[in-house]
Chain A
Amino acid sequence: SQQGEEDPQALSIQEGENATMNCSYKTSINNLQWYRQNSGRGLVHLILIRSNEREKHSGRLRVTLDTSKKSSSLLITASRAADTASYFCATARGDSSYKLIFGNGTRLLVRP
């Protein structure tokens, strides 16, 4: 089964606007993490939210987690052209390897 499905698949906004990306998952998790990937580059860790947390902030980022709905959202406020990237959610369960299961990602374009 798919774990970590983001929507929208692509999002285009004007600089200064807020961007909201959503992620849904199917199984129980211990934490959910958001990563950013610039085109063809590596994965940059943005924020981790534990299953017993509901909201977390880091700079212009705000992440929410609703375990009853098995969903999370990433809000980027006051977006900048440099925020243009793909954003992935990844879930970690309590299994032996603590591997991450990634979603398909949201491609964000911030127009200057």
Chain B
Amino acid sequence: EPEVTQTPSHQVTQMGQEVILRCVPISNHLYFYWYRQILGQKVEFLVSFYNNEISEKSEIFDDQFSVERPDGSNFTLKIRSTKLEDSAMYFCASRATPGVNNEQFFGPGTRLTVL
């Protein structure tokens, strides 16, 4: 069964460093998302991406964040200068088609720890 994959599973970085989290969505999917979950809290939407551009972003997704689809398969989230409060689990998700009534498939997540 096709699945969303994410690498690395765990990233440890120093405050102020740049990190890139990688995702490979399901191959025929068109919509891509990043969410994050701070430990013990709920999952929060960060950004959605469609047709090679951001379709929506949340207040959390400030200038420190960027997303890219550098080739036909990868979808990346970059945090330019990490802060302690960026420590969280980051989930990538993808969805197949336009139309609201279909499910988003989530990857296993990348646990980011900022020291």
CA distance A88 to B37 in the complex (A): 12
**Cβ of A93 < 8 Å from any Cβ of B?**
yes
8 Å CB contacts to A: which residues of B83-105? 89, 91, 93, 95, 100-105
With CB as the reference atom, state the residue of chain A lying closest to B92: A42
8 Å CB contacts to A: which residues of B31-65? 31, 33, 35, 41-45, 48, 50, 55-56
B38 to chain A, nearest CB (A): 12
Given A92-B100, A105-B42: A98 touches B31 (CB 8 Å cut-off): yes
Are B42 and A97 interface neighbours, CB within 8 A? no
With CB as the reference atom, state the residue of chain B lying closest to A6: B42
Q: How many residues of B contact A (CB 8 A)?
A: 27
CA distance A96 to B100 in the complex (A): 9
A37 to chain B, nearest CB (A): 8
Are B56 and A45 interface neighbours, CB within 8 A? no
Q: Which residues of B contact A26 (CB under 8 A)?
A: none
Q: Which residues of A contact B33 (CB under 8 A)?
A: 97, 99-100
Are B100 and A94 interface neighbours, CB within 8 A? yes
Are B42 and A98 interface neighbours, CB within 8 A? no
By a beta-carbon cutoff of 8 Å, the part of chain B in contact with chain A is: 31, 33, 35, 41-45, 48, 50, 55-56, 89, 91, 93, 95, 100-109, 111
30 inter-chain pairs at a CB distance below 8 angstroms, sorted by A residue, are A4-B42, A30-B100, A31-B100, A31-B101, A40-B111, A42-B106, A42-B107, A42-B108, A42-B109, A43-B43, A43-B106, A45-B103, A45-B104, A48-B101, A48-B103, A90-B43, A92-B100, A92-B101, A95-B56, A96-B56, A97-B50, A97-B55, A97-B56, A98-B48, A98-B100, A100-B33, A102-B35, A102-B42, A102-B44, A105-B42
